[in-house]
A and B are shown apart, each in its own frame.
Chain A
Amino acid sequence: MSWYKKFQLSRNPFLKNPKINADLIVKDIPKLKDLLYYVESDSIVIVRGEKNSGKTRFALEVLNTIKPKQKNLYIDLKHYNKNVDIEDILLSVQPMHRRLLKLYPKNIVLIIDNAFNFNPKFYHRLQYFYDQEYIKSAVIIYKADELVEIPPSIMSRVGSKYIDLSNMTKDSAIKIVSNRLKGKIFNDEHLDVIYSKSKGFEDFLSNCEKIAVHYANSRKDFSRKIDIHFIRRMLI
């Protein structure tokens, strides 16, 4: 039996992968509304933020909102060669017969994650597909401190359509995990203690998981929450 099932949870609540645990913090909702507007109104928009500020989660929330009425494509450039052609990416989502005839999808919302240091030709091709209406709107996501060379022709189309996500704070981190736990395993006081001994959000998740797994493997009674002294001992 998976450790989290002992706490009556259906999945591991401490996974970092935003696709599995999609959280949304209340403070981001106005920015999400802006992003939804830009996506709907045929724009190219840039989303920036520090590591763990929730950029990918933010973009995935847009996809969840616009599906199923709008065709969309999420790509993480981390998984592609620097010289990839956006044409190949657009064709890859087409059925075989349309791919063979080089028929591109029309009016697609494209979300480009980890857009850094790519061949400028990638962005020129993006511009072409955007102008020719194959791409309805595009969201370009990158880390705020990364050197990203987006050509002036794309920046001219972006204008002032930037969304800057604020950094992950202790309160945000605790709220995210608390929402995932739904009253199980740890309370806010526990999470506060764990966060204060962690270096950043990923470490916080990792520490939460370590403590929860250890507790699950060493106890038989899960009707009560974990004792705070147990947590403090685990974090030494």
Chain B
Amino acid sequence: MTWYNELGYKKNPFSIKPNTKYKLFFDDKDVLGLIKKSLEANHNVLLKGVYGTGKTTILKQIIKLYGGKRKIFYYNAFSKEELNYDKIIKNAGNIFSRLFKIKSAEVIVFVDEAHKVPISQAFSYKNHENKIKSILFVSSDTSFIIPKGFEQDFQVIINLDNFTQKDAINIVKDRLGESQDIIPHNAIIELYNKSYTPRDFILSCESYCKNNILS
């Protein structure tokens, strides 16, 4: 039996998989709300942060906010296929429009690991501007910048670079709920001080619980 089974959890509460079950904490900023509001207002967004800052989790949560509708298209740069906006627009929409290859209007496109997508592909959205509502580029390369000529297209740039002690405390409260005292406050601070990102911290919490709770 694992430590979390002993505490009554069916699954590991410190799993690092991006999921929509747990809240996100970004130094009191409503990053999720800001991104959704921007996309709805037809603004393109660039979201940057090193590995483990919560980018994929944000993507999953936004997709959930939209109810997983077909008007959201998720593309990962490590996909087998090239980024093709024409194909995306044709594949979005209802079965009727897909069957007759009618281009859908108002598609929102998420491009994960955008810095890995060739510029010629990533920025060819210009040819479909009347069909693409907004774009969210996500990059783990914090030095990634929007190339010249396209900067004005990205009205919102968000850097996930500030993981605070308060965020760490909130993560523990959110994930452990009533059992949050399992990790004493001073232990949380100690684990936070050794962590660079939320993921580092979550992994450290798991290790702490495994070593201190397992009978």
Residues of A within 8 A of B (CB): 37, 40-43, 85, 87, 121, 124-125, 127-128, 130-131, 133, 152-153, 156-157, 159-161
CA distance A158 to B51 in the complex (A): 12
CA separation between A41 and B17, bound complex, in Å? 10
Residues of A contacting B12 in the complex (Cβ-Cβ under 8 angstroms): 40-42
B103 interfacial by beta-carbon distance below 8 Å? no
24 sample A-B contacts, Cβ–Cβ < 8 Å, listed by A number = A40-B2, A40-B12, A41-B4, A41-B15, A42-B15, A42-B16, A42-B17, A85-B80, A87-B80, A125-B78, A127-B78, A128-B79, A130-B17, A131-B18, A153-B51, A156-B52, A157-B51, A157-B52, A157-B199, A159-B200, A159-B203, A159-B204, A159-B207, A160-B203
Question: Which chain A residue has the least Cβ–Cβ distance from B214?
Answer: A37
Least distance between A153 CB and chain B CB atoms (Å): 5
Question: Are the C-beta atoms of A41 and B52 separated by less than 8 Å?
Answer: no
A43 to B206: give the CA distance in the assembly, Å: 11
Q: Chain A contacts of B18 at CB under 8 A?
A: 131
The listed residue (B4, B140, B206) touching A153 by CB distance below 8 A is B140
Q: When A42-B15, A125-B78 are in contact, do A160 and B207 touch as well, CB less than 8 Å? A: yes
Question: CB-defined interface of B51-64 with A at 8 Å, one 1/0 digit per residue?
Answer: 11000100000000
- How far is B76's CA from A87's CA once the two chains are assembled, in angstroms? 14
Query: In whole angstroms, what is the CA distance A37 to B5 when docked?
Result: 11
Which residues 49-92 of B have a CB within 8 angstroms of A?
Answer: 51-52, 56, 76, 78-80
- Interface flag for B210 (CB, 8 Å): yes
A128 pairs with B199, CB closer than 8 A: no
* Chain B contacts for A128, CB-based, 8 A: 76, 78-79
A177–B59 Cα distance when bound, in Å, is 53
The 8 A-B pairs of least Cβ separation, nearest first, read: A159-B203, A124-B78, A156-B51, A41-B12, A42-B15, A156-B52, A153-B51, A131-B18
Q: How far is the CA of A173 from the CA of B206 in the complex (A)?
A: 35
B11 at the interface (CB under 8 A from A): yes
- A156, closest chain B residue (CB): B51
For chain B, residues 15 to 43, give those with C-beta under 8 angstroms from any C-beta of chain A: 15-18
B196 to chain A, nearest CB (A): 10
- Given A41-B2, A41-B12, A128-B76, the answer on whether A156 and B207 have CB atoms closer than 8 Å is no
Which of A85, A87, A156, A160 lies in contact with B199, CB distance below 8 A?
A: A156
| A40 vs B12: C-alpha distance when bound (angstroms) | 9
CB of A60 to closest CB in B, whole Å: 22
Residues in B with CB closer than 8 Å to A153 are 51, 140
Choose among B17, B76, B140, B204 the residue with the greatest number of A CB atoms under 10 Å from its CB: B17
Task: With CB as the reference atom, state the residue of chain A lying closest to B76.
Answer: A128
A43 surroundings in chain B (CB, below 8 A): 16
CA distance A130 to B78 in the complex (A): 13
- Beyond the given pairs A40-B12, A41-B2, A156-B197, 5 more chain A to chain B contacts, judged by CB atoms under 8 angstroms and listed by A's residue number, are A37-B2, A40-B2, A43-B16, A153-B140, A157-B199
